[in-house]
């Protein structure tokens, strides 16, 4: 009988590899990348995009820090007959209630972007409930309509957040196309990024305070219209029942 002797060096390498694997797994579990990496969703996901055969997409704006370009954005969308979705933080809502009214009266949709713009995966359930309930009610008090959509600040979420938002009647919404307008890219760079990456059912992320967003938006809208796309609000784009969310965040009808 042959006896195989395994060197301590090989054992050490094996142990190190196992430790690295589990460390990587733990790290991935803390992000949405875990489900994509393994091909199935162990982590609950928000809606990143929607699977549809129709050439339609949704434009969204996050509102947290100011209103310098908001009138320009509203003018552009009125001229192009485009309706979109704004996600507003409560302190922005309270500071600029007149803009909440302007946005809503122009036919756009308004969702909550939290109360204080925190990293919500770091909060316990009571704190999450407070963030969502307070911000939701602040918007509803102004527009007189139930808020159904929520976008996590920083795109930061976990299972507890997704579940709690659902319990409160909120669909958690991410995005599939990031304009990166918050990086102060040029208008041309923003246009290129968005037009190149859009497909049926895309949700595009902009910010109402993006430095060159208003400059980029007309060409983006015209180019996508010429390509056959129509624009809808996120509430019109998503499925509200009878759906699943794939590991890449794509919502599908079942």
Counting every residue written for the chain, the total comes to 254
Per-residue pLDDT tens over the stretch 137-183: 999 999 999 999 999 999 999 999 999 999 999 999 999 999 999 99
Rounded Cα distance between 137 and 6, Å, is 65
Distances (CA, A) of 212 to 83, 179, 188, 207: 20, 11, 9, 10
Using CA atoms, how far apart are residues 179 and 189, in angstroms rounded to an integer?
9
Catalytic residue among 113, 117, 207, 212: 207
**Nearest partner of 217 among 26, 105, 40, 72, judged by Cα:** 72
- Which whole number is the average pLDDT over 30-45? 54
In whole angstroms, what is the distance from residue 208 CA to residue 111 CA? 14
**Percentage of the chain lying above the pLDDT 70 cut:** 84
List the structure tokens of 178. 């990031």
**Could you say which DSSP state residue 117 is in?**
-
Is 207 annotated as catalytic?
yes
Q: Are 35 and 41 in contact (CB under 8 A)?
A: yes
Is the pLDDT assigned to residue 241 strictly greater than 80? yes
CA dist., res. 136 & res. 165, Å (int): 11
Q: Which helix (H) or strand (E) holds 182?
A: none
Domain extents in the chain: 49-253
| pLDDT for res 57 | 98
Q: Where are the alpha helices (DSSP H) in the chain?
A: 8-29, 33-38, 70-80, 90-95, 97-105, 125-143, 159-167, 187-197, 213-226, 234-237
Single out the catalytic residue among 62, 158, 181, 212.
62
Among residues 199, 183, 131, 180, the alpha carbon closest in space to that of 160 is found at 131
Whether 158 sits among the annotated catalytic residues: the reply is no
Banded pLDDT at 10 (limits 50, 70, 90): low
H or E segment and range at residue 89:
none
Predicted pLDDT of residue 42? 72
Q: Average pLDDT, stretch 202-226?
A: 98
What pTM value is reported for the model? 0.83
Name the superfamily (CATH) of residues 49-253.
Answer: Glycoside hydrolase/deacetylase (3.20.20.370)
> 41-87: per-residue pLDDT in tens?
478 999 999 999 999 999 999 999 999 999 999 999 999 999 999 99
CA distance 77 to 20: 50
The angle at the Cα of 88, spanning 86 to 149, to the nearest 5 degrees, equals: 65
Residue 66's nearest CA partner among 180, 189, 213, 179 is 213
> How does DSSP assign 46-82, residue by residue?
-B-EE--SS-EEEEEEEESS--TTHHHHHHHHHHHT-
User: Please, which pLDDT band fits residue 8 given cuts at 50, 70 and 90?
Assistant: low
């Amino acid at each position: 009988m042959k006896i195989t002797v395994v060197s301590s060096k090989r054992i050490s390498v094996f142990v190190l590899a196992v430790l690295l694997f589990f460390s990587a797994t733990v790290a991935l579990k803390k992000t949405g990348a875990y489900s994509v990496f393994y091909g199935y969703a162990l982590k609950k996901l928000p809606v990143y995009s929607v699977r549809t055969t129709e050439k339609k997409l949704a434009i969204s704006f996050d509102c947290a820090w100011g209103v310098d370009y908001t009138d320009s954005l509203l003018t552009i969308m009125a001229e192009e007959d485009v309706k979109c979705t704004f996600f507003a933080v409560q302190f922005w809502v309270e500071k600029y209630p007149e803009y909440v009214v302007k946005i809503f009266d122009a036919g756009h949709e308004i969702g909550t972007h939290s109360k204080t713009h925190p990293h919500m995966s770091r909060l316990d359930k009571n704190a999450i409930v407070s963030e969502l309930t307070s911000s939701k009610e602040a918007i509803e008090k102004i527009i007189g309509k139930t808020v159904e959509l929520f976008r996590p600040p920083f795109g930061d979420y976990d299972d507890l957040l997704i579940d709690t938002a659902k319990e409160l009647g909120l669909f958690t919404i991410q995005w599939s196309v990031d304009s990166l307008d918050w990086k102060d890219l040029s208008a041309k760079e923003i246009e290129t990024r968005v037009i190149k990456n859009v497909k049926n059912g895309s949700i595009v992320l902009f910010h109402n305070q993006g430095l060159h967003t208003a400059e980029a938006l007309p060409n983006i809208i015209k180019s996508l219209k010429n390509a056959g796309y129509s624009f809808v609000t996120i509430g019109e784009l998503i499925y509200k029942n009878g759906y699943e969310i794939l590991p890449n965040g794509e919502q599908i009808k079942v």
